[in-house]
Chain A
Amino acid sequence: MKTCALALLSLAAALSAQSPVTFDRILNADKEPQNWLSYSGTTRSQRYSLLTQITPDNVKNLELQWVFQSRSLEKYESTPLVVDGVMYTVQNPDDVVALDAATGRVFWTYSYQVSPDARPCCGRLSRGVAILGETLYIGTIDAHVVALDAKTGKAMWDVEVGKAASGYAITHAPQIVKDKVIVGMAGGEYGIRGYILALDAKTGKEAWRFYTIPGPGEPGHESWAGDSWKTGGASVWVTGSYDPDTNLTFWGIGNPGPDWNGDKRAGDNLYSDSVVALDADTGKLKWYYQFSPHDEFDYDSVQVPVLVDTVWQGRPRKLMMWANRNGLFYVLDRVNGQFLMGKPFVKVNWMNGFDERGRPMKLASATSSKDGTLILPGNQGGTNYYNPSYSPRTGLFYIPAWDNYSSLFVKQDQDFVEGRTFGGGGPRPTTSAPVAPGGSNFRADDDIYGAVRAIDPKTGEKKWEFKMADVTDAGILTTASDLLFSGGREGYFFALDARDGKLLWKATVGGAVRSGPMTYTVNGRQYIAVDAGNSLFVWALRQ
């Protein structure tokens, strides 16, 4: 009881302080679970909250507190931030809104005028903002980074970091490391040459740039035939993670281009479909691991790296866990990139095990073709940009998964034209069970389905799953009270018991959940927030 009162006091103090969000606070975000200071909650990106007011016993008493209806009909894939009672979120494509986190009332709105040149593949949207000090940062779909005064929404600087007319775009929340803002370029469907860059948080001046496709003379350049490296894509779609002990920033890299025809880009196509570990001060590559060499199935590594410190085969180790779009779950040593384990978490037919160095053994038949090749998982992957979660309490890794899912991969000849899509073919639905977003669902039980799938990361074995009739694009949040929150395309948002997957509560939100839920407290009251459809919904326990 006493500790509870103390906790409340310190919460109240934090609220009245509204102190600047130093990088130290971001690093130690789990010491202030009332706040959500970066896209994935912490730099480890586990999406695991220490808040415990809402429990498996009382979660049935959740009550809708407020809704923020955006003025955009675009789908929402964002996660808000909450800092000392103030919520910062996006309004697609690139507006930023500051709201009272307890009532949803608006303090200010920043409207960003997007260039007509913007042409992002896959949604005119932003997945969120970053904060450092009293400044917010957003990357825009016309490849600008804008700094805003968090108190007033006033723009402080705005720099163009990519050419929108050539297909460069930013769709993810920036990452803050020390005094830098780090972003990566989307545009892999337009034949860009991807890069990650760090800007000085104060001025917007470029501090370093890492090309996700090595240039002439750099190691890895030989993994691209001819001039294919110039248009090879390898974009960034989601925010990276950061490890202060090694000062490494980790980023998932997207597919090589053209997506579905690898004929003119013979080789492994580094660092497409890889994780890269960069020195956060210099942008120098420390190590990489490529999940899908020479990909023709759009298997972007568009996942947030999840960092876990735990005992691995008898000794404590600094790990990285990763459920990849290619259908496999991986455990890597994040200090040196060593491959420790890789196992399918959904049905996979493109590979058959790993060699001793952790390179997947791809089947000779696993290549796109003129007539179409049936591959599992299909084009959207076994999972995608959807946020996974790891709970240190249950020791389980939770994946928004699509199972029994296949596509026919068809290749076509295509020449590169700057600013035009550069796919080289495309996926076709398989006959039995196409995925039709928003349409009626006629699938049989054994056809493709979506699930929240809990696996034991030490073995890769499935512990339980919560099966849905439709597929899911929803991220996952777990809490220290063993709750798991997620949703799906059907328009439900629900709570499961993180230990066994039992359904404890659900709400109808009238639109697909395609974003990562988050939680925070204001004045000691815990809230759960998620974007669904094009609105933001917030619940708390009935009072």
Chain B
Amino acid sequence: MKPSAICLFVLASGVLLAQHEYAATDIENGARTYTNNCVYCHGPEGDQIPGINLLQGKFRRTLSDDDIARIIREGIPGTGMPAQNMNEGNARTIVAYLRSSAAVPASTVAGGDAARGKAIFEGKGGCTACHHAGGTGSRTGPDLSDIGALHRAVELEQSLIDPGAVVLPQNRFVKVVTKDGTTVTGRLMNQDTFTLQMIDSQDRLRSFPIADLRQHSVLTTTSMPSYKDRLSSQERADVVAYLVSLKGAAIKGARKP
């Protein structure tokens, strides 16, 4: 009885999906807005509230896009769901993200072992050469200390296999060549018409006057290698399990619902 109900639900949401086209930019913005506003209660997989799985289209009752947008903006009185101070457009991007995620299967990496993943992360994988997590590693690449609270396993797995597919603007690298010919590469932190700020490969916060540079360019590609062939699928599953476990001890206290 239960499987068929789920089946029906998936079919139903499939029908709903077919009724709508969601713009890629809406989905992307919605993912960001979801991460900033919803993830602390609902979790990155959308399944942290019992009986609800936002990213698999499982709600307590059937909801239209209008219903979801309204609930996001107005909350549900008498429950833990607060009204969000958000305009209609932003709420709609979250709807786009939730609906499109429901069409994507959940993580294919199952059975990962977080402890083994940590060992790979800090050893064989060489991840700490760029990434900081669990109190160790460089800060040049994106800090992953709370990545498990922000992203889904399926997204983390995708980043391991095809790291260049999605490079968020805040994770772009920049290369500068100073007038004396020194090349410095690091993660771009800020820039303006006259200056540029980065964290370099030795974790130093650097600020350069553009007038002192021979050249500078923002790299939109990633310097991270693909782990498709570098790690076995089991090892990748282990690393993903470790990343999912990184919830960032800080976040709970700092953000109170």
Q: List residues of chain A with CB under 8 Å of any chain B CB.
A: 16, 18, 85-86, 98, 100, 102-103, 105-108, 112-113, 115, 144, 146-147, 149, 151-152, 154-160
Minimum Cβ distance to chain B for residue A430 (Å): 44
Q: How far is the CB of A13 from chain B (nearest CB, A)?
A: 13
With beta carbons under 8 angstroms apart, the residue of B143, B251, B253, B254 that contacts A149 is B143
Bound state CA distance, A100 and B132, in angstroms?
Answer: 22
Inter-subunit contact B256/A158 (CB<8 Å): no
Closest 4 CB pairs of A and B: A155-B250, A158-B253, A100-B207, A158-B250
**Which residues does chain B contribute within 8 Å of A159, judged by CB atoms?**
253
A157 neighbours in B (Cβ, 8 Å): 249-250
Residue B189 CB within 8 A of the other chain: yes
Per-position 1/0 for B241-257, Cβ under 8 A of A: 00000001111111110
- A109 to chain B: closest residue by CB: B190
Q: Determine if B203 is an interface residue (Cβ-Cβ < 8 Å).
A: yes
In the bound complex, do residue A156 and residue B250 qualify as a contact, i.e. CB atoms below 8 Å apart? Answer: yes
- Residue in B192, B203, B205, B255 whose beta carbon sits within 8 Å of that of A113 in the complex: B255
What A residues does B207 contact at CB under 8 A?
85, 100, 102-103, 105, 107
How distant is the Cα of A16 from the Cα of B255 in the complex, in angstroms?
36
Residues of B within 8 A of A108 (CB): 189
| Contact partners of A98 in chain B: CB under 8 A | 205
Closest approach, in angstroms, between the C-beta of A99 and any C-beta of chain B? 9
A16: B residues at CB distance < 8 A: 204
Task: Choose among B135, B143, B209, B249 the residue that contacts A158 (Cβ–Cβ < 8 A).
Answer: B249
Given A105-B197, A107-B197: A155 in contact with B254 (beta carbons within 8 A): yes
Whether the pair B254, A158 counts as a contact (CB closer than 8 A) is: yes
Bound Cα distance A156, B146 (Å): 9
CB distance from A427 to the nearest CB of B (A): 35
- Give Cα distance in the complex from A256 to B139, angstroms: 46
B132 near A18 with CB under 8 A, answer no
Interface bits B125-146 vs A (CB < 8 Å: 1, else 0): 0000000100100010001011
Q: Tell me whether B195 and A105 are in contact (CB under 8 A).
A: yes
Residues of chain A within 8 A (CB-CB) of B192 are 105
**Which residue on A lies nearest to B144, using beta carbons?**
A154
Q: Which residue from chain A places its CB closest to the CB of B253 in the assembled complex? A: A158
Within 8 A of A (CB), among B190-213: 190, 192, 195, 197, 199, 203-205, 207, 209
Residues on B with C-beta less than 8 A from A103 are: 195, 207, 209
Contacts of A149 in B (CB 8 A): 132, 139, 143
Residue among A102, A144, A155, A157 facing the most chain B CB atoms (10 A cut-off): A155
Most buried by A among B190, B195, B204, B250: B250
CB distance from B148 to the nearest CB of A (A): 14
> Most chain-B Cβ atoms within 10 A of its Cβ — which of A85, A105, A106, A157?
A105
Inter-chain contact B143/A146, CB cutoff 8 Å? no
Which residues in A have their C-beta under 8 angstroms from that of B135?
156
Q: Quote the shortest CB–CB distance from B147 to chain A (angstroms).
A: 11
Task: Name the B residues within 8 Å of A113 (CB-CB).
Answer: 254-256
Q: Which of B221-257 contact A (CB under 8 A)?
A: 248-256
**Please, how many angstroms separate the alpha-carbon atoms of A284 and B209 in the complex?**
51
Residues of chain B lying within 8 A (CB to CB) of residue A107: 189-190, 197, 199, 205, 207
List residues of chain A with CB within 8 A of the CB of B132: 149, 152, 154
* Contact indicator A152/B197 (Cβ below 8 Å): no
Q: Is the CB of A156 within 8 A of B145?
A: yes
> Nearest Cβ distance between residue B208 and chain A, in whole angstroms?
9
Cα separation A108 to B190 with both chains bound (whole Å): 8
Query: How many whole Å from B25's CB to the nearest CB in chain A?
Result: 25
Return A144 CB to nearest CB of chain B, in Å. Answer: 6
- Nearest-neighbour CB distance to chain A for B197, whole angstroms, equals 5
Query: Which chain A residues lie closer than 8 Å to B205 at the CB level?
Result: 18, 85-86, 98, 100, 107, 151
The residue in chain B whose Cβ has the minimal distance to the Cβ of A140 is B254
State in angstroms the CA–CA spacing of A393 and B253 once bound together: 47
| 19 residue pairs bridging A and B, Cβ less than 8 Å apart | A18-B203, A18-B205, A100-B207, A105-B197, A106-B197, A107-B189, A107-B190, A113-B254, A144-B253, A149-B132, A149-B143, A152-B199, A154-B143, A154-B248, A155-B248, A155-B251, A158-B250, A158-B251, A158-B254
**Please, how many angstroms separate the alpha-carbon atoms of A11 and B77 in the complex?**
60
Alpha-carbon distance A115/B253, docked complex (angstroms): 10
Do A100 and B139 touch (CB < 8 A)?
no
B254 touches A146 (CB 8 A): yes
- Distance A108 CA – B189 CA, assembled complex (angstroms): 7
Contacting pair B195 A18 (CB below 8 A): no
Q: Which residue of B lies closest to A147 (CB)?
A: B250
> How far is A108 from B145 in the complex, measured between Cα atoms in Å?
17
- Residue pair B204, A18 in contact (C-beta under 8 Å): yes
Q: In the assembled complex, which residues on chain A have CB atoms less than 8 Å from the CB atom of B190?
A: 105-107
**Extra inter-chain contacts (7) besides given A106-B190, A149-B139, A154-B143, CB under 8 Å:** A16-B204, A85-B205, A112-B254, A146-B254, A151-B139, A152-B132, A158-B254
CB distance from A86 to the nearest CB of B (A): 5
Residues of B within 8 Å of A18, CB to CB, are 203-205
Instruction: Give Cα A108 to B250, complex, Å.
Output: 17
Contact of A144 among B189, B197, B209, B254 (CB under 8 A): B254
Taking the closest CB of chain A, its distance from the CB of B41, in whole angstroms, is 14
**Chain B residues positioned under 8 Å from A102 (CB to CB):** 207
Query: Among residues 137 to 192 in chain B, which have CB atoms less than 8 Å away from a CB atom of chain A?
Result: 139, 143, 145-146, 189-190, 192
Q: Contacts of B195 on A, CB cut-off 8 Å? A: 100, 103, 105
